[in-house]
């Protein structure tokens, strides 16, 4: 087990979310599902439903709890995905925003309200351009985007 594991609190959709997330990334799988029993600790009527789901995304372990509606996700935490290509950005963006919402600068919320940053490898490289004017032009373009478009950023950098 990795030393630090991200723990996600869902109302009652942990198993659904974990199944969806593991379908998006290679080297991903559900590891274990612990279910509520007749004795609890969940509310009446939850026996047999998932309580805790352990899963891996791209080899990284996560835990998801069906803990009830008391806590919800905010943008204060997000999952950053380092995408190899524009095609990967486009595919993940389309799947994760389905039922969710687009934000800005590569950020989105999925249908459960979890924030993701879908960022192509090219973005930090373009923002680190040794020419400060080009780097600033890339930043200006990125700030006007929802989903990151590498071609537009490359054009802004004069490539």
Q: How far is 101 from 83, CA to CA, in rounded Å?
A: 19
Whether residue 2 contacts residue 60, with contact meaning beta carbons closer than 8 Å, is answered with yes
> Quick check: 74 and 8 in contact, CB under 8 A?
no
DSSP of 102-125, one letter per residue?
E-STTEEE-TTS-EEEEEETHHHH
Asked whether 62 and 9 are in contact (CB, 8 A), the reply is: no
End-to-end CA separation in angstroms for the chain: 43
Q: What is the pTM of this model?
A: 0.92
Is 119 in contact with 108 (CB distance < 8 Å)? no
- Average pLDDT for residues 96-119, to the nearest whole number? 98
Which of 3-7, 46-50, 55-59, 108-112 shows the lowest mean pLDDT across its residues?
A: 46-50
| pLDDT at residue 44 is higher than 70 | no
User: Phi and psi for 152 in degrees, rounded to 5?
Assistant: -65, -40
Residue 42 has pLDDT above 70, yes or no: no
Output the pLDDT for position 43.
Answer: 66
| Residue ranges per structural domain of the chain | 1-72, 73-159
Give domain 1-72's CATH architecture: 2-Layer Sandwich (3.30)
**What SS3 class is residue 94?**
helix
Q: Tell me which DSSP letter residue 57 carries.
A: E
Q: Does domain 73-159 have CATH number 3.90.1150.10?
A: no
């Amino acid at each position: 087990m990795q030393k630090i594991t991200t723990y996600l609190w869902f109302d009652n959709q942990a198993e659904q979310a974990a199944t969806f997330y593991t379908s998006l990334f290679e080297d991903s799988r559900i590891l274990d599902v612990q279910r509520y029993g007749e004795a609890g600790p969940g509310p009446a009527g939850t026996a047999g439903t998932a309580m805790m789901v352990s899963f891996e995304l791209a080899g990284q372990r996560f835990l998801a709890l069906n803990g009830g509606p008391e806590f919800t996700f905010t943008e204060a935490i997000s999952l950053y995905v380092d995408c190899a290509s524009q095609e990967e950005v486009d595919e993940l963006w389309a799947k994760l925003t389905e039922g969710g919402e687009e934000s800005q600068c590569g950020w989105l919320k999925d249908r459960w309200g979890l924030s993701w940053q879908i960022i192509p490898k090219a973005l930090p490289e373009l923002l680190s351009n040794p020419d400060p004017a080009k780097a600033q032009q890339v930043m200006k373009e990125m700030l006007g985007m929802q989903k990151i478009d590498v071609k537009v950023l490359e054009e802004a950098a004069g490539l």
